[in-house]
Amino acid sequence: MKAIVTGGAGFIGSHLVDALIDRGDQVWVIDNLSTGKLENRNPKAKFIISDIRYHYLYDHFRHLSIDYIFHLAALPKIQYSFDHPKETNEVNIIGTLKIIEMAAKLNVKRLIYSSSSSIYGDQLTWPLREDMPVNPLNPYALQKFAAERYCQMLFPNSVCLRYFNVYGSRQSSSGSYSAVIGNFLSNHKKGAVSVIYGDGEQTRDFTWVGDVVRANILASESNKVGCGEVINIGGGKNYSVNQLKKMIGGLYHYQMARKGESRHTLADITKAKKLLGWEPYVSLEEGIAELKKLHGLT
C-alpha cells in the first residue's frame, strides 16, 4: 500500500510512519518541522519538508496511486490557539481543506483525520459519546470540529478519530505548551518543579501512542467505516492530575487553572470496538512505567 502521513515527523505521526513501514507500506511524509523533528524521521519513508497549506503539494503525488492519507499535521495546543488564533486557524482548517482537496484529486481510498476530544468541552454526563452535542471551549477545539465537518462534507470516504490525551515516547517535554506527561517526566529527571494548573482534581483519559497508531491502521482497513464516521480513541478510564503526579513522582506546585480546558474527559469507546475492532492494550500505569524506564527514573 502507498500512504501519505502529514505531520509524520511529529509525536504521533512518526510512530504511525514506523508502523506502516514495518508492515511493508510505501510512505510519504509531509512535515514543515514546526513541531515535528528530523530525529523522528524514518529513513525508509520519503520525506517532503513542506507546509500543508502550500498549493503545489499535489504535484509531488499526481503521478502516483496513493491508497490512504493519514492527516495528523496540526498546531495542537489549546493555550497556543488562544495566543495565536489566526495562525492555528490557517493550519488546522485551511491546511485541512488543502489535504481534503488533494485526497479528492488523488482519489484515495480513505482519508483518516486526527481529531480531538477537546471538541466535547465540558459535559454534564460521562463517558463522552460521539453523538453528544459538541461544546468547544477554545479555538483549537473549534478548529478541529470544523475540520471534521469539512471532511464529512467534502470527502465522505473519511474517518475522524477523536484522540483522548495521547502520551508516549517522542512527546514534547519542553516549552510553555508541552503536554503534561512529557513535561512532568522531563522536570522530574532534571529535578525541576512541575506546575499543576488548578487543584489537580481535573481528570483526563490518557491514551498510549501505540494504541492510537493501531486505531489509525484499523480505520484504514475496516470495511465498516469510510462514510465520515467520528470515533473516540481513548483509554476508557480517567485519572486525576494528582494521581498522575503520584505515579511519576517529582516536585510540584499549583497555579491558577487555565482557561478553555475541560474539567473531565472520559471516552466511551463502544463505537471503536464495534466498527474498528479496537480497544486499548496499554494501561496508564504500564505506559508510565515504560516511560520512566526510558527517562532513567526507575
* 256-259: long-range contacts, CB 8 A cutoff, minimum separation 24: 256/197, 256/198, 257/197, 257/198, 257/199, 257/202, 258/78, 258/79, 258/197, 258/198, 259/82, 259/137, 259/138
Cα distances (angstroms) measured from residue 81 to each of 78, 93, 116, 151 = 5, 12, 14, 21
Strand-pairing partners, residue 5, are 29, 70
Helix (H, G, I), strand (E, B) or coil at 283: coil
Q: Would you tell me how many other CB atoms lie within 10 Å of the CB of residue 177?
A: 16
**How many H-runs (helices) and E-runs (strands) does the chain carry?**
10, 13
The residue from 80, 113, 140, 167 that is catalytic is 140
**Cell numbers describing residue 292:** 520512566
For the chain, how far is it from start to end, CA to CA, in angstroms? 40
Burial class of 86 by CB neighbour count within 10 A (0 to 12, 13 to 18, 19+): exposed
Cα distances (angstroms) measured from residue 291 to each of 10, 200, 266 = 18, 21, 22
Cα distances (angstroms) measured from residue 273 to each of 23, 93, 209, 229 = 23, 29, 17, 13
Active site annotation includes 252: no
Cell 489535504 sits at which residue? 99
**Residue of 80, 58, 178 lying closest to 90 (CA atoms):** 80
Q: Which positions are catalytic?
A: 140
